Chains A and B, each alone.
Chain A
Amino acid sequence: MITLHGATKRYGRTTVLDDVSVSFGGEGITALIGPNGAGKSTLLGLVGRLLHPDAGRVDVDGRDVRSTPSAQLAKTLAVLRQDNHIVARLTVQDIVELGRFPHSRGRLTVADREHIDRAIDYLSLDEYRHRFLDELSGGQRQRAFIAMVLAQDTKYVLLDEPLNNLDLRHMTEIMKLVRRMADELGRRVIVVLHDINFAATYADRIVALRDGRIVADAARDQIMRPDVLRAVYDTTVDVREIDGRPVALYYG
């Protein structure tokens, strides 16, 4: 269970996350939605100990993130930020091997290699195994990063806008993979999404943030309503039912 107790983060005089208390971990996929600057990425950063809260506390499985050794946390929790820019020339295999680092500390065992092969296989990257990341398309590169996170073999997986800069096909592909990771591998995924229809299609629970606070936290059908979405995004959103699923229309 990941629990935030009154977590607050400020940059100068701007409060980006304001006294947030919430728990994750009961559901397979939790989607974080909200307008730009709502604090979604900050929340993930705090949980993933990439940022430190100015007030409050974050616990992962009952242990304070700040006092738990980072190397131990790395076996429980993996976080992938958006817009990963890697300068080093690494192959898909290299990057997935590095994902095993918390377990292997650099010396790969037979078990580590199995995890690596499985992750590469799971993301159907075998063909690109020895290709350098800068030779791949955006979708393939994103799959390589997710394979890295998968090889890390953690209970919790935090993904910050994994659909950024991907085309329709790759967005769907990634979300299906995330769904499979939750269903087949029992991973607990928290994912920041911009497209609420992806959240509605794939997430078990949707948490909406606005101005650093949680404004809605419920299962899909309670969130996918015009009044709720209007309150979150401050713009008119029409919700229609198509094939028994709520679909948000916000294209104007």
Chain B
Amino acid sequence: MTTVAATAATPAPARTAQPARTGAGVAVGVALVVLAATSLFIGVSDVSPWTVLTGGADERALFVLAVSRVPRTLALLLSGASLAISGLIMQMLVRNRFVEPGTTGVSEFATLGMLVTLIWWPGMALVGKMGVAAVFGLAGTWVFLRIIRAVPTRQLVLVPLVGIMLGGIVAAVTTFIAYRRDLLQSLGQWTQGSFAGVMAGRYEFLWVAGAMGVVGWVAADRFSVIGLGEEFATNLGLNYRRVVAAGMVVIAVSTAAVLVTAGVIPFLGLVVPNVVSLIIGDNVRRSIGWVAALGAGFVVACDILARTLRYPYEIPLSVIVGVVGAGLFLWLLLRRGSRAH
């Protein structure tokens, strides 16, 4: 073959990607630790790192740290990581980069589930509410996947548009029911995500979302294969339906866990995996750690802003994430627009 001779003469490709990536990994890790530490020591109560470390802190400061600050920071980290992973997995299942629970109706279905528990089983334990929300979220994922079978999948923007419309319809139904039942205020609690109410005993379900993230990590290669499409997956001997079903469960449970704890956090599952994809691609095994770390860091950073911008008051986290996320989303759309179609 003549091409072999021709290509052999060219110099070997630069393989500097690996060390650069390790360096970036260290930077992201350090940033995450700094952000988490900052999150621990921001607030109205005076808790200073120095006094805690030297053992000079009074009992009240330690109490605030244990009951409020640590749970809140853990909740932020878990929510950010699991929502970003959900977005990544959804993008693999749908084979479209602009889907996430918030652009496919999944969040809206889960919110409807929450409202249903509030109307019929108001006394239900939080774990039950989360279960119902997860089941609704699962149903929502299924409905969405059914609908987009009829949509040409190569229409990059059409798929999330259909999802947003579906979400709009479900949200309208939810709002109508809440209005009739005089529950609009409770509804507002979930549609505006905030971690202000997170305390020990009120965030532990997020470990379930964290576990879903671990499932995503363990099955990373399977989700990569699914991202190639059904025919490739079948050729590689993978049970397509089973992996899609597992992915749907990961997405629905993560969404529901964050929803019952904090409420809807928009754009996160969309923006974070897309930024990671731009830099290191869509091999899930390679990207999932980055997606989790950047998702967690992004949410903690936004929450710090939410707590400090109007100190001592708080802005809902979803507002901050919405503003930053929408900006990033627009940038992604316009940036990719030139070669996405």
A: residues with CB less than 8 A from B are 48-50, 69-75, 78-81, 84-91, 94, 97-99, 101-102, 105-106, 124, 126-130, 132, 134, 152, 173, 176-177
Taking A69-B237, A98-B236, A124-B7 as known contacts, 15 extra A-B pairs with beta carbons closer than 8 A to each other, sorted by chain A number, are: A48-B234, A48-B235, A70-B237, A86-B228, A90-B282, A91-B281, A94-B224, A94-B283, A98-B232, A124-B1, A129-B13, A130-B17, A134-B339, A152-B236, A173-B3
Some 15 contacts from A to B, beta carbons below 8 A apart, are: A50-B231, A79-B235, A81-B231, A85-B229, A88-B95, A88-B281, A89-B277, A89-B278, A89-B281, A90-B283, A101-B236, A101-B238, A105-B221, A130-B17, A173-B1
| Alpha-carbon separation in the docked complex, A99 to B236 (Å) | 7
Chain B's nearest CB lies how many Å from the CB of A211?
25
In B90-128, which residues have CB < 8 Å from any A CB?
Answer: 92, 95-97
Residue in A78, A106, A124 whose CB lies within 8 Å of B221 = A106
**Which residues in A have their C-beta under 8 angstroms from that of B60?**
none
The answer to whether the Cβ of B72 comes within 8 Å of any Cβ in the partner chain is no
Interface string of B213-234 (1 = CB under 8 A from A): 0000000111011011101101
Set B12, B231, B237, B282: member contacting A102, Cβ < 8 A: B237
Q: Mark B271-314, 1 if CB is under 8 A from A, else 0.
A: 00000011001110110000000000000000000000000000
Residue of B nearest to A134 (CB): B339
B17, B97, B232, B239: most-surrounded residue (chain A CB, <10 A):
B232
- Give the docked Cα–Cα distance between A129 and B231 (Å): 24
A86 CB contacts on chain B under 8 angstroms = 227-229
- Please state if B236 and A102 are interface contacts (CB–CB under 8 Å): yes
Please, which residues of chain A bring their CB within 8 A of the CB of B221? 98, 101, 105-106
Report B246 CB to chain A, min CB distance, Å: 14
Interface size bracket, B side: 35 or more
Q: Which chain A positions have C-beta within 8 A of B17?
A: 130
How distant is the Cα of A71 from the Cα of B242 in the complex, in angstroms?
13
- Establish whether residues A72 and B4, one from each chain, have CB atoms under 8 Å apart when the complex forms: no
* A80 vs B232: C-alpha distance when bound (angstroms): 8
0 or 1 for each of B15-44: is its CB under 8 Å from A? (1 = yes): 101000000000000000000000000000
Docked-complex contact B96 and A87, CB < 8 angstroms: yes
Q: Which of B7, B97, B235 contacts A87 (CB 8 A)?
A: B97
Q: How far is the CB of A65 from chain B (nearest CB, A)?
A: 11
Residue B10 at the chain A interface, CB threshold 8 Å = yes
Please provide the chain B residues from 142 to 157 with a CB less than 8 Å away from any CB of chain A in the complex: 154
* Complex-state Cα separation, A132 to B296, whole angstroms: 27
- Asked whether B227 lies within 8 Å of A87 as measured between CB atoms, the reply is yes
- Chain B residues lying within 8 Å of A75, measured Cβ to Cβ, are 237
What's the nearest-Cβ distance from chain A to residue B337, in Å? 15
Point out the residue from A94, A99, A124, A134 that lies within 8 Å of B3, measured CB to CB: A124
Chain B residues with CB under 8 Å of A177's CB are: 1
- Which chain A positions have C-beta within 8 A of B283? 90-91, 94, 97
Partner pick for B228 among A50, A88, A106, A152, CB 8 A cutoff: A88
Nearest 5 pairs between A and B by C-beta? A74-B237, A106-B221, A71-B237, A88-B282, A88-B227
CB atoms of B13 and A130 under 8 A apart: yes
**Contact call B234/A70, Cβ cutoff below 8 A:** yes
Q: Are A73 and B237 in contact (CB under 8 A)?
A: yes
Choose among A80, A81, A88, A127 the residue that contacts B10 (Cβ–Cβ < 8 A).
Answer: A127
Given A50-B234, A74-B237, A98-B228, A106:B220 Cβ within 8 A: yes
List, in ascending order, chain B residues with CB within 8 A of A176's CB.
Answer: 1
| List of B residues within 8 angstroms of A94 by Cβ | 224, 281, 283, 286
CB distance from A1 to the nearest CB of B (A): 20
Near A by CB (< 8 A), chain B positions 246-288 give: 277-278, 281-283, 285-286
